[in-house]
Amino acid sequence: MAFKQITSPHAHAAQNTTKVMQLVLWATVPGLAALTIQFGWGSLINVVLAVVTAVICEAAIIKLRKRPVAFYLRDYSAVVTAVLLALALPPLAPWWVVVVGSMFSIVIAKQIYGGLGYNPFNPAMVGYVVLLISFPIQMTTWITPLALLPEGVSHPGVVESLGIVFAGYSPADGVTGATPLDSFKHSSGLVVDQIYQNDPLFSQAAFAGVGWEWVNLGFLAGGIVLLATRIFTWHGPVAMLAAIALMSVIFWDGGSSESPGSPLMHLFSGASMMGAFFILTDPVSSAVSNRGRLVYGALIGVLVYIIRAWGNYPDAVAFAVLLANFAAPFIDNYTLPRTYGHTDRRRATEKEEDA
Amino acid sequence: MTKTWVTPGGVHPPENKHQSLTLPIGALPIPEKLLVPLSQHIGAPANACVKVGQKVLKGQKIADATGSVSVPMHAPTSGTISAIEDRPIAHSSGMSAPCIEITSDGKDNWIDHEGIADFEHSSPQALTKIIADAGIAGMGGAGFPSAIKLSPGHRRPIDTLIVNATECEPYITADDSAIRERAAEIIEGIGILSHILGNPSNILIGIEDNKPEAIAALQPHVADSGISVVSFPTKYPSGGEKQLIYILTGKELASGTLPADAGMVCINIGTTYAIKRAVVNGEPLISRVTTMTGNACGINRNYETLIGTPVSHMLTHSEFNEAACSRLVMGGPMMGFSLTSADVPVVKTTNCILAPSYSEIPDDEPAQPCIRCGMCAEACPASLLPQQLFWYSQAEDHDRLEAHNLFDCIECGACSYVCPSNIPLVQHYRHSKGEILKAREEKVKSDHARERFEFHQQRMEQAEKDKEAKRAARREAAEKAKASTAAASGAGSAADIIAAAQARAAAKKVSPEQQQAKFERSIAGAEMRVQMATEKLAEAAADQTDEQKNILTAALDGAKQKLEQAQARLADHIEQHKELDSEQVK
């Protein structure tokens, strides 16, 4: 009788990377649904376009690298990157914007570094920032939320949307508009109460900004599912949201004309919730330990607020995440957990001679 | 309820313990041949004390312990020693090691043996010796000689005795079933341990709450005994020594120390039974409870298995279906190691033989890249960062591995168990530990070599320096001497230098006393010649010619002259030395 020599442990939990990625995809559904309800078919078209591009690019590069294509495509990581990028892009953006961004995310930000597990930066956010810097007009043209569409105007249907995306048709008047963060940023000189009264984006909102509050709630719901299924720990998202809340309380300034906005607006506008639960939780490019993720999340929260309040961009999740990606290995060096039997936490940079 | 503490991390793999608990502990027919490896424990292998062809009785010692950390081996049944040679043994590397093969005579005749009924009247030393002589080594897995654990020696006194009945690995029920059926004897064994250790104030039996029958079996025996049965929520790996100590006492063992350093002894519950049998019944450790389980076997149950029983013998009697078996594991599914051959024997640490089917434990899927999801870090009971250890293990960055406390990894496998990318993490850590230990050894060696070399260099330099210093001293002395002679002769002319040199040379050749003696000898010689010449002249005066007389007179004059010269030289010499002496006095 001869048997296989296999290393322990022999038992294995049913979890695998493909399932993790698929669960993340399912968790984006509430957010995607909210985007589609509030802003029309554009986000769905973005998702399809980005996924197709990403999968083709991933397959091509894996082929070039002489690796088994099916094995690597099966991990679904390219699909996750594409979906996250697509959700961040303005609905009804020209097709080439989506394709260029998706391609850049996969080819440059992911595969050139060695593929899944080796990318130091969040690939979706790299793609997003490249697009934001290269095509500022297309990237800042957002759609008017459902509730604020002018009388008699509705979001374009599927066919019309495809025409806008692929053939460059112009959407009807009133279909495009500013985002709450954008609007708030450009209402300088007014105190917060005035902005909230004058701007329908705020005056007709339930608590943060028309349309966007629902999108953020959608991503929050998806995030809670992922937390409950232990795909990631609470440390990163909670630290980021707490940092944003804390910063916006500290600098609230009593709602004066200099005020950068309320905590509710910052937490439920722009990409706050998506960033907290879907972007900074990318484990590959984040800090690794729970303590590290607290620092990492807080850093992103602070950076998001600083750029929103005093920077040139109305939203800043992508920039903040990329900056924190740079800092992650550094954070890792100083946030090791205390091991059983040791009185102190150690530094990763300790040499044996120092010990 | 006794308070317990909760360890970080841990996993909850399917327990799969019920399969092997449907039947009581059984016995297998005595195998035709038994194979007793000489090393079944931590420490030096035992030394065979029997010869091939020799007849042995059951329980007869067949190998002596060698050195302090070692245990003897005993014949598991009666029969004939048929071989003493290297055979494949149960080891993760599939290696061979020295074994004693016994061909059973089927009679199973015991050697004369006798126990101690009232161990309380025996000294701890005597009891410890019985345990050592019975060949008892930790039966939980590591196989550390029990007698050594019970002689903490210079360490601090033992105040806590922890009996490990956790059995946290899935499938294994050897301890569970032994407790159910042998609780009284186990508690007696614990009593012996307590007596040996000077009745420690805390005696705790740690057991997971998934063994209610075992807990119930223990309860009636511990009443008023000072022993507490502490149950706690089931979680793998609670049975690790460090984890169990924390769960029961809330104390962590400092990295790199032993329980005895913290005043504790931690012993497996199966071992306490063996200790009872050794002390009270006088039986050495020649059998143990081993779980035979897994869906590739038709019969799943525990057997009282003779040490040395080939695994194949167990399989044969358990309706084993080889085609259905995905792998053969000695130990549990988390920390057990795979066997490449079923011919290897059961040893003192073998708590389980697992023969799973493909649906139970399928072949490993190919590893995907690590996405650093951190599920491993959440599962790690030692609060390590397995994903970082994996990363640095691949990079062979030893400094980082040590900074991340690689050596505090207990290889429980919880990280690999949860890894969604199927990475054999523990394998990477074992490899890196080996590499680091090798590097450390090499470093010690190279440090030695460097020290030797540096010392050699230093020595050579010192020798060179010493030589140089001597040379310099001589040069200086010569210069001083030159200067002093020049000062003595005043003018320091060339003639004086030559004279001084000649004098030195003369002085070097003979001492003044010898010189004087020489002068005196030449004077005596000259006087003799003058006397002879005078006598010849006197003889010649009678009958010689004038011519001859003249010659003789001349010779006499010459001799007289030489005598005078010699006398003058002696006088000079004496004069000179008087001067030198007076000079020295000055």
Sequence spans of domains, chain B = 122-283, 375-437, 510-585
Instruction: Determine how many CB atoms are found less than 10 A away from the CB of residue A283.
Output: 21
Average pLDDT over residues B565-579: 78
What token pair was written down for A198? 């004058």
Provide mean pLDDT across the span B362-385. 93
* Spatial separation of the C-alpha atoms in residues B204 and B193, rounded to whole Å: 12
- Residue pair A176/A144 in contact by the 8 Å Cβ criterion: yes
Residues 6+ apart with CB under 8 A from B554: none
Chain A nearest CA to B361, separation (Å): 6
Q: Assess whether the previous peptide bond of A30 is cis (omega < 30° from 0).
A: no
Cα angle, residue B279 at apex, residues B274 and B280 outer, rounded to 5°: 100
* 8 Å CB contact of B322 and A289: no
Identify the sign of the CA torsion A103, A108, A112, A113.
Answer: negative
- Cα angle B196, B197, B199; round to 5: 100
Q: Where are the domains of chain A?
A: 16-177, 180-334
Which pLDDT does position B510 carry in this prediction? 62
The answer to whether residues A222 and A87 touch, using CB atoms and an 8 Å cutoff, is: no
> Lowest-confidence range among A195-199, B153-157, B531-535?
B153-157
Contact residues on chain B for A283, CB-CB shorter than 8 A: 371-374
pLDDT of B584 over the 90 cut: no
Closest partner residue to B405 (CB to CB) among A117, A290, A346 is A346
Chain A residues inside the 8 Å CB shell of B371 = 17, 20, 77, 116-117, 283-284
Cα separation of A115 and A109, whole Å? 9
Question: What CATH number matches the domain at B122-283, 3.40.50.12780, 3.40.50.11540, 3.30.420.40, 2.60.40.10?
Answer: 3.40.50.11540
Distance CA B73, CA B59 (A): 9
Helix (H) or strand (E) holding B56: strand B55-56
Nearest residue to A106 (alpha-carbon basis) of A130, A139, A87:
A130
Find the residue in A nearest to B253 (Cα): A341
Report which of A17, A10, A7, A2 is spatially closest to residue B362, judged by C-alpha positions.
A10
d(CA B202, CA A354): 39
Cβ contact B327–A336 (<8 Å): no
d(CA B331, CA B566): 113
Query: Tens of pLDDT along B431-471?
Result: 999 999 999 999 999 999 999 999 999 999 999 999 999 99
Tell me which residue in B363, B373, B424 faces A20 most closely, judged by beta carbons.
B373
Given a cut of 60, whether residue A167 has pLDDT beyond it is yes
Helices (H), B423-545: 425-488, 494-509, 512-543
> Hey, CA dihedral for A151, A155, A157, A160, is it positive or negative?
positive
3-state secondary structure of B466: helix
Question: In this prediction, what percent of chain B has a pLDDT beyond 70?
Answer: 93
From B110, B109, B84, select the one nearest B98 (Cα to Cα).
Answer: B84
- All residues at 6 or more sequence positions from B514 whose CB lies less than 8 Å from its CB, including other chains: none
Q: For residue A349, which amino acid is it?
A: T
- A334 in Cβ contact with B386 (< 8 Å): no
Which of A39, A29, A86, A89 lies closest to A209, judged by CA? Answer: A39
- Confidence at residue B509, expressed as pLDDT on a 0 to 100 scale: 60
pLDDT at A213: 93
Q: What is the pLDDT of residue B538?
A: 77
Burial (0-12, 13-18, 19+ Cβ within 10 Å), A64: exposed
Which chain B residue lies closest to A77 (C-alpha atoms)? B371
Cα separation, B296 vs B376, in Å, equals 30
| Contact (CB<8Å) B325/A10 | no
Q: Which of A7, A10, A294 to mutate to test the interface with B (most CBs of B within 10 A)?
A: A10
- Here the ipTM equals 0.91
**pLDDT of B581 higher than 70:** no
Using a CB-CB distance cutoff of 8 angstroms, which residues of chain A are in contact with residue B429?
Answer: none
- The pLDDT value recorded for residue B148 is 87
Pair of tokens at residue A12: 């294995």
Amino acid at B306: L
Residue A355 confidence (pLDDT)? 45
The answer to whether the beta carbons of residues B575 and B512 sit under 8 Å apart is no
> How far is A133 from chain B, CA to nearest CA, in Å?
29
User: What is the pLDDT confidence band of residue B413, given thresholds at 50, 70 and 90?
Assistant: very high
**Between A8, A117, A351, which is nearest B335 by CB?**
A8
CB contact under 8 A, A11 and B334: yes
Give the Cα separation of A64 and A146 in Å (integer).
45
What angle in degrees, to the nearest 10, is found between the helix axes of A95-103 and A77-88?
140
Q: Which has the minimum average pLDDT: A189-203, B23-37, B297-311?
A: A189-203
CA–CA dist A297, A321 (Å, integer): 9
Please give the structure tokens belonging to residue B293.
């389980």
B102-156 pLDDT tens trace: 999 999 999 999 988 888 899 998 999 999 999 999 888 778 899 888 886 656 7
Would you give the DSSP letter of residue A14? S
Whether cis (ω within 30° of 0) applies to the bond prior to A9 is yes
Beta carbons of B327 and A75 less than 8 Å apart: no
Name chain B contacts of A339, Cβ cutoff 8 Å: 255, 382-384, 405, 408
What crossing angle do the helices spanning A123-134 and A317-333 adopt, rounded to 10°? 140
Residues 6+ apart with CB under 8 A from B578: none
Query: Which of B245, B255, B334, B383 is best to mutate for the A interface (most A CBs within 10 A)?
Result: B383
Q: By 3-state DSSP, what share of chain A in percent is helix, strand and coil, each rounded to 5? A: 60, 0, 35
Write the CB contacts of A348 (distance below 8 Å, at least 6 apart in sequence). A332, A333, A334, A336, B388, B400, B403, B404
> Which has more pLDDT, A208 or A44?
A44
Q: Work out the minimum CA distance from A70 to partner chain B, whole angstroms.
A: 12
Q: Helix H segments across B134-206? A: 146-149, 174-196
What's A206's DSSP letter? S
Locate B523 and state its tokens.
């004077």
Chain A CB within 8 Å of residue B429 CB: no
| Contact call for B322 and A1, based on CB within 8 A | yes
The per-residue DSSP string of A65-105 comes to: TT--HHHHHTT-HHHHHHHHHHHHSPTT--HHHHHHHHHII
| pLDDT tens per residue across span B392-401 | 999 999 999 9
Q: Is there a contact between B372 and B392 (Cβ–Cβ < 8 Å)? A: no
Six-digit token string for B73 = 């081996």
B351 vs B175: CA distance, rounded Å? 8
Residue A295 is classified by DSSP as H
CB contact under 8 A, A4 and B254: no
Residue count of chain B: 586
More confident residue, A289 or B69: A289
Give whole-number Cα distances, A34 to A222, A268, B297, in Å: 11, 13, 55
Contact B340 A5 (CB under 8 A): yes
Are the beta carbons of B369 and A1 separated by less than 8 Å? no
Which chain A residue has the Cα nearest residue B374?
A: A288
Retrieve residue B337's tokens: 């190691």
CA–CA min distance A210, chain B (Å):
35
Q: For residue A16, report the phi and psi dihedrals to the nearest 5 degrees.
A: -145, 165
Distance from CA of A171 to the nearest CA of B (A): 41
Closest to B120 (Cα-Cα) out of B185, B194, B183, B179? B194
A354 pLDDT more than 60: no
Mean pLDDT of chain B: 89
Contact A11 B14 (CB under 8 A): yes
Q: Which residue has the tokens 């070599």?
A: B449
Q: Which residues contact B155 (CB under 8 A, 6 or more apart)?
A: B258, B260, B261
Predicted local distance difference test score (pLDDT) of residue B83: 93
Please give the average per-residue pLDDT across B515-530, as a whole number: 82
By CA distance, what is A340's nearest residue in B? B382
- Reported as a single tens digit per residue, the pLDDT across A198-218 is 888 888 888 888 899 999 999
- Helix B386-394 to helix B425-488 angle, to the nearest 10 degrees? 60
Residue A348 pLDDT grade (very low, low, confident, very high; cuts 50, 70, 90): confident
Question: The tokens of B160 are what?
Answer: 């806590």
User: Are A278 and A285 a contacting pair, CB within 8 Å?
Assistant: no
The predicted-structure confidence for A299-339, as pLDDT tens digits, reads as follows 999 999 999 999 988 888 999 999 999 999 999 999 999 99
Q: Does B336 touch chain A (CB under 8 A)?
A: yes
Q: B53-67, B397-411, B514-528: which range is least confident on average?
A: B514-528
DSSP letter at B322 equals G
Q: What are phi and psi of B194, to 5 degrees?
A: -60, -45
